[in-house]
Amino acid sequence: MNPFDLLKNPQVIKEQMEKVKEELKKITATGSSGGNMVIITLNGQMEMTDIKLDPICVDNRDIGMLQDLIMAAHHNATEKIQQQIKEKYGALLGDMNIPGLNI
């Protein structure tokens, strides 16, 4: 995509980006860690929409492990969201360097 083509019709680009922004809210991915002891759901805007913790991993003597499991599950869900965005919008966003999307 030629970046100068984008400048010719900024209103169309704005409308397309608003549409994409709304569609990103509908994309979800679930990431897990620790054999599903921690399960996190993210939307396409990288917002956490749900978290489930297996009671076995909630041990106040090992908060560090729980923190690691949450971070690992979040990372797993983030990778899945990025893949979905790449598959759905890769052609549209391919030439744009959008931080965090790794497209």
pLDDT tens profile 22-73: 888 889 999 999 999 999 999 988 899 999 999 988 888 888 889 999 999 9
- The letter for the amino acid at 8 is K
In angstroms, rounded to a whole number, what is the distance separating the alpha carbons of residues 37 and 41? 13
pLDDT tens profile 85-94: 888 887 766 6
For the record, the structure tokens of 40 come out as 């996190």
